[in-house]
A and B are shown apart, each in its own frame.
Chain A
């Protein structure tokens, strides 16, 4: 059979290459159009592109900062303060959301009808209202209606609630406190290893494991001493002029942002946890009950590890959403990276550079979270041979 040459316009490979070239030309043309207009408009406004404004003096104050900041510090430092504030919100938010979401998701399977209904109402209410509205609600109705600092609400005598925020006892700031914290971490790791060893010899040798138990008790006592004395807790005390000295002072804006984010994202995480647990085969529940395991061990050792495989990708999405929604803090006046950048933009007018900086920050945080969660995802996959 002689092969007749396919004409060019009917050749598949030809069209593939032509279409790709056309796509590249189209994208480059659009980009060029935008860049041309950009340069024209920037020249018309008189500002030029460059990051040198970062070293000029910021002439504004920032309400809360983790590193010391005065209004004479440069814009670059202000941006850094914003990033640190955002991280403060994101890290605490992710941890609390996990607790709340997992608790609500697992509670969906409780035997108690009342608990199931409450979780259902919580999830429906908090998923179907906008996050900004919830933030306003927390900030303007809850926190602004707390009493003034003079008539503060005291819980256990050491946690103060007022319209200025929450004041709670916190670790001291001396060398002893930091060393004690490190010591506690070391003790926790040591206790975990001792526990593993104890279980191993109980299972393999049938020994009583009593020696290891004594070691664990000793570690526990040392940890108790370090916790109560070594960490040097400071308690909030009312000073003169209604100032609170000592302890950790969380501003009302910060608390409102964190609580709004946690309750909103927690509702989505509860649904994801519920879907994950429902994805586990019913036979697993029945087999565990046939073996006589109670519901605590059943959930912890059998159902939840299998549910994790289904849960982790959507959970990554929710953590990313939490980090992106933290930019709403601007609505309450909490100085996170978006709010600070907004102020810098208003003062310097450098729209492009600042938009690029904000985009870079959020994309970087995005990348870090995605990497960590991907590693977690890979570690819970089924290990096939």
Chain B
């Protein structure tokens, strides 16, 4: 005896208009509706209060009046052209790198060299904001020029990679050489007027210290990561001692110790510059954490890779360089990016040990009796700068991951 078979009912209709979305996401049940209404009112109150404060009682003139201080500190104003050249160099190289990274290599991907619609809209908004900034016309023209350089660099980068694919490998060399050029422009000598390191303040010092510490901590981190994995007990012991010791101390303590103790443990006539002491402290701290992150990457590689390398006759340094490290480093790019972002933000701690970088210069500006009490305006501005830089770094790292195929192969 067969039952009359019931046809399966049609799936529920997917309603995709705005009302349905609101109902599902915001008012899905009494508790959710209550939360939405309560939080909505609270956000409304805060936004209205903030906008009111920002447009009426906030005195924003502290920012344009001190913009050179924020950016380059007490760099002699006759030598500002050097800082403009540094900015132009950094942005052009950054544009080139951006271009070389974002030309898609996937066969189905978008092969266009020009910018897509979203990027163009973003660039338009950026240019609009720059034009609206309350600055003198000459700096404004320079900034617009630098933005243009960045975009031109991106276009050139994509063109270059399309025509000559190997050119991407040279960008690392270009960055390395640019460090020396930037250092010469900053410090002077060899034909330029020397500028002492105590005059490097503000965003200039932040970016310089972050970039140098990141670059220096990388080889140290790799050495200690490999040392911790080593089968030689002495090397393993020293690596573990270094890593655990420097991970257990607060960064402020290490920076403080670097400023105070470094002159004591080195011969008296080696006068170590304060910026160098700070960079040493930051490098040591980050290399300990980096060693652990890279160790995670090393642990993720199957033993077969090392064994195959030995079977092919590669000795340890070659197998490390050609086989193990590329895979290990690629696997932990997110973790390393986290550390580098932390390093960038932790340069602000140098304000506590007496170096005047972005956070430190904001404290000096606030100590000026003309701008007494403008804490909120200054701190919001500085926070926005940090946010922009960190977001840019995070985006670059995500693009690098896509390019290297992290998680796909």
Contact = CB atoms under 8 A, between A and B. Distances in A.
Interface of A: 16, 19-20, 23-24, 27, 34-35, 37-38, 40-42, 44, 110-115, 118, 125, 128-133, 136-137, 140-141, 144, 320, 324-325, 327-328, 330-331, 338, 342, 345, 351-352, 355, 358-359, 362-363, 366-367
A35 B266 CA distance: 9
A328 B256 CA distance: 12
A358 B268 contact: no
A38 B26 contact: no
B264 interface: yes
B26 A112 contact: yes
Contact of A20 (B234, B266, B348, B352): B234
B183 interface: no
Contacts of A359: 249, 253, 257
Contact of B250 (A136, A324, A342, A351): A324
B308 interface: no
Interface in B30-64: 32, 35-36, 39-40, 43
B268 A23 contact: no
Contact of A362 (B25, B248, B348): B248
A140 B375 contact: yes
B387 interface: yes
A125 B345 CA distance: 13
Contact of B28 (A34, A38, A111): A111
Interface of B: 25-26, 28-29, 32, 35-36, 39-40, 43, 231-235, 238, 245, 248-253, 256-257, 260-261, 263-268, 341, 345-346, 348-349, 351-352, 359, 363, 375-376, 379, 382-383, 386-387, 390-391, 394
Contacts of B387: 125, 128-129
Given A325-B250, A362-B248, A132 B379 contact: no
Most buried by A among B28, B29, B268, B348: B348
Contacts of A19: 232, 235
30 contacts: A16-B231, A20-B234, A20-B235, A34-B265, A38-B265, A40-B268, A41-B265, A41-B268, A42-B264, A110-B32, A114-B25, A114-B26, A114-B39, A115-B39, A125-B387, A128-B394, A129-B383, A129-B387, A130-B346, A131-B345, A133-B382, A137-B375, A324-B250, A324-B251, A324-B253, A331-B351, A338-B253, A355-B253, A355-B260, A355-B261
A27 B25 CA distance: 61
B263 A338 contact: no
**Complex A-B, nearest 3 residue pairs according to Cβ-Cβ distance, in ascending order:** A324-B250, A113-B25, A130-B348
Contacts of B35: 112, 114-115
Contact of B376 (A130, A131, A141, A338): A141
Nearest to A125: B387
A320 to B, nearest CB: 8
Given A132-B352, A327-B253, A111 B25 contact: yes
Given A133-B348, A141-B375, A114 B36 contact: yes
Contacts of B43: 118
A16 B236 CA distance: 13
A142 to B, nearest CB: 9
Contacts of B345: 128-131
Given A129-B345, A359-B249, A352 B383 contact: no
B261 A352 contact: yes
B383 A133 contact: yes
A90 to B, nearest CB: 12
Contact of A324 (B32, B249, B263): B249
Contacts of A118: 39, 43
B87 to A, nearest CB: 22
B260 A351 contact: yes
Contact of A44 (B238, B256, B268, B394): B268
Contacts of A355: 253, 256-257, 260-261
A129 B386 contact: yes
A40 B394 CA distance: 47
A144 B379 CA distance: 14
A358 B359 contact: no
A363 B39 contact: no
A118 B346 CA distance: 26
Nearest to B388: A128
A112 B28 contact: yes
Contacts of A125: 387
